[in-house]
Amino acid sequence: MGFLLQLPSSLSLRATSLAMRTRPTRASFFRHTSLNQTPINVQKWVADFRSKSLNFALSGTLVLALSLTGVGFAEGKTGVNKPELLPEEFTTVIDVAGFLSDGQESRLVQQIAAIEKDTGFKLRVLAQNYPDTPGLAIKDFWQVDDRTIVFVADPTFGNILNFNVGALVDLDIPRSFWSRLAGKYGNIFYWKEKGEDASIEAAVVAISNCLREPVGPNNCSDVK
């Protein structure tokens, strides 16, 4: 909007602001065009801009640093790219940390398939303990695009829920939803008491409910 992917720590705040916290406005568009040009396709420009930001985030940043939970860098870390940690066959849930049982993983895969069928949005779940993660390799493995939500469960910085949200998802889902979701099910007291698996399952249910709500001024206002 991790794998864990990342920038040098000196660039983390700039990346966070660019990729996750700033929505281009008409004013910013005009600053990027000459005065005699007419912005006939502002929406396309915004989508292209956010797509490039997403690619930049995936190719050079730690999702934790870009997450909508507000979690930033605790310290500088190097990027990780370990395709050898990817499963041999495609799956929408990758658990390299061992947080989930086989049964839980199977249920999540079914839930995610239903979400994609019903909404058109792609949810992908990676459970990890940095630096034990496939990292950058998941981008191609999952074909991450503007309709993809990459949900990374990693307790490295305390809050276990971290999200990288594609541009088209961001148009429909208020950004406050992700921070409220992380605050409710990702805080250290919740997952320490109930388990990492409980946080992951609760988050997927909440995302499923949110994506199925009609788009409007009050959609996803309640994390449930």
In a domain, 42, yes or no: yes
- Whether 32 is in a domain gets the answer yes
Structure tokens, 83: 């395709």
Task: Tell me what the mean pLDDT of segment 109-114 comes to.
Answer: 98
Check residues 12 and 138 and name the one with the higher pLDDT.
138
* Claim to verify: residue 28 and residue 62 sit in the same structural domain: yes
Peptide bond preceding 131 in cis form (omega within 30 of 0): yes
Q: How far apart are CA 60 and CA 148, in angstroms?
A: 18
CA gap 107, 130 in Å, rounded: 25
Q: For residues 48 and 115, state if they share a domain.
A: no
Task: Choose the weakest-confidence range: 68-82, 97-111, 134-148.
Answer: 68-82
What residues make up the domain containing 164? Answer: 83-212
**pLDDT above 90 for 2:** no
Q: Which two tokens stand for residue 138?
A: 């998941």
In a domain, 4, yes or no: no
Closest of 28, 23, 4, 25 to residue 154, by C-alpha: 4
Secondary structure (3-state) at 151: strand
Whole-angstrom distance, CA of residue 22 vs CA of residue 185: 25
- Tokens, residue 52: 């490039």
Band (pLDDT 50/70/90 cuts) for residue 182 is: very high
Q: Is residue 59 part of a domain?
A: yes
User: Do 25 and 95 fall into the same domain?
Assistant: no
Residue 15 has pLDDT above 90, yes or no: no
pLDDT (tens digit per residue) in 119-131? 999 999 999 999 9
Question: Distance (Å, rounded) from C-alpha 28 to C-alpha 79?
Answer: 31
Residue pair 12/65 in contact by the 8 Å Cβ criterion:
yes
Instruction: Tell me the mean pLDDT in the region 17-26.
Output: 38
- Give the rounded distance of the alpha carbon of 75 from its chain centre: 20
Asked whether residue 93 falls in the same domain as residue 179, the answer is yes
Residue 78 resides in a domain: no
Give dist(CA 113, CA 117) in Å, integer.
6
- Residue 20 shares a structural domain with residue 51: yes
Same domain, 195 and 117: yes
Bridge partner list, 161: 153
pLDDT over 70 (residue 50) = no
CA distance readout (Å), 90 to 84, 138, 140: 14, 11, 11
Which DSSP category does 85 fall into?
Answer: G
pLDDT, residue 161, reads: 96
Q: Are residues 45 and 131 in the same domain?
A: no
Q: Is the separation of the CB atoms in 127 and 2 below 8 Å?
A: no
> Could you tell me the pLDDT band of residue 23, with boundaries at 50, 70 and 90?
very low
The two beta strands, 148-153 and 161-165, are antiparallel
Residue with tokens 């990292």: 135
pTM: 0.70
Give rounded-to-5 percent helix, strand, coil for the chain: 50, 10, 40
* 44 and 148 inside one domain: no
Identify the weakest region by mean pLDDT among 25-39, 94-108, 208-222: 25-39
- Ranking 76-80, 89-93, 116-120, 219-223 by mean pLDDT, the lowest is 76-80
Considering its fold, how many domains does the chain have in total? 2
